[in-house]
Amino acid sequence: MGKKKKKRYVVKAPVQFLAVIGIVVLLALGAVIWLLSCTCGATRVEPEAEATPSPSPTAAVTAVPTATPEPTWEEQRLASIEHYVRAYGNCPDEAAIQARMATMTIDPDRKMVAFTFDDGPRDDITDWILDVCEQYGVRATFFIKGDNIASHEEQLMRMLSLGCEIGNHTWMHTNVEELSASEMREEIGKVNDAIYDRFGYTIKLFRPPYIKYGDKGSDTRNTLIALMNEWDMAVINHTRSTHDTYDKYTADMIYQRGVQETDELGKGLDGSIILCHDKTKKTADAFARIVPELLSRGYQFVTVSELLHCSEDGFHAGWIYSSAK
């Protein structure tokens, strides 16, 4: 008999069982896929960066305008002189202008004297005096009559171009003590207006004809002082006279009075306001000798305003100056 073959047993799972297994597998697979999608597909939320505060708007810086300092009296003086040097100086070039301006300096520590000339301008006499000023580079003050202005504009322009000062001596050389308040205003104001209208020059000094301006406390003096304050002017007397209007006085005698260091009243020459008149040739001749002599002694020839500004008290509107101090 032949050898028996072993039976092979094949387990046959029922169909229902297989279906259950399939469902479980599908569910498990779905769960895995869902977990993977949740993990891989999730968007990572970064922590919000700390906000950097925006800089506060810078307040607009309003530029504080730098206050321009008022020009000093000296700066105003030099600017005014240069204006007239350029306008009337007949300087051929810039070098000539600067050479002229170099003569306008003032050393407040050196001796100085202010020569004044009343009653002009006049033909020839005033020109001769101005010739001396130009030759030596010195300055003087001219107290003019208003009725001489129209016919002597060339002399007035030359005065300004040489750094000289123009002062007021009334329109008709009138004694102010004989004028009403309105007449005084007319006699003085008319000169100021005429000079300003023609040359743009503002007069700062008034010398009363005959050196008469009323007693202290009188209506005449009070009226005059009120006008001086209104017009920013001062009344100028003198500290020494050359007596050049005296008939007996020669050019040599005028010269001697102009250069003596101490006068008969004991007043020194330094800081003096000297009274002259541009009326006669003897005055011009004396001045031509006085200037080089005093220059050799170290004196400066300045205008009255320059002298007062360099003095201890300075210049003040409404004052009556009978001395440089």
The 10s digit of each residue's pLDDT in 87-130 is: 999 999 999 999 999 999 999 999 999 999 999 999 999 999 99
Residue 268's DSSP bridge partners are 262
pLDDT at 27: 57
User: For residue 102, which of 137, 136, 140, 141 has the smallest C-alpha distance?
Assistant: 137
Query: Residue 143 carries which side chain, given as an amino acid letter?
Result: F
Active site residue 277: yes
270 among known catalytic residues: no
User: At which residue do the structure tokens 């104001």 appear?
Assistant: 189
Q: How many CB atoms lie within 10 A of CB 63?
A: 6
118, 119, 244, 278: the active-site residue: 118
Integer Cα distance of 91 and 202 in angstroms? 24
Sequence-separated (6 or more) residues with CB below 8 Å from residue 38: none
Distance CA 152, CA 26 (A): 130
Distances (CA, A) of 113 to 140, 308, 323: 9, 11, 12
The C-alpha angle 174, 84, 297, rounded to 5 degrees, equals 80
Whole-model pTM: value is 0.79
Is there a cis peptide before residue 121, judged by omega within 30 degrees of 0?
A: yes
For the chain, the structural domain boundaries read 73-321
Q: Which two tokens stand for residue 112?
A: 């100085």
d(CA 310, CA 320): 17
89, 179, 167: which is closest to 134 by C-alpha? 89
SS3 224: helix
304 DSSP 8-state letter: H
CATH topology of domain 73-321: TIM Barrel (3.20.20)
Query: Alpha-carbon dihedral of residues 150, 154, 157, 163, nearest 10 degrees?
Result: -130
Choosing from 152, 169, 238, 277, the catalytic residue is: 277
pLDDT at residue 32, as a whole number = 46
- The pLDDT score that the predictor gives to residue 233 is 98
DSSP string, 72-88: PHHHHHHHHHHHHHHHH
Per residue in 20-56, pLDDT (tens digit) is: 455 544 555 555 444 444 444 433 334 333 444 444 5
Distances (CA, A) of 188 to 29, 109, 230, 304: 123, 35, 12, 19
Per-residue confidence (pLDDT) for residue 59, from 0 to 100 = 53
Measured from the Cβ of residue 187, the count of other Cβ atoms closer than 10 Å reads: 21
Low-confidence ranges of the chain (pLDDT < 70): 1-65, 323-325
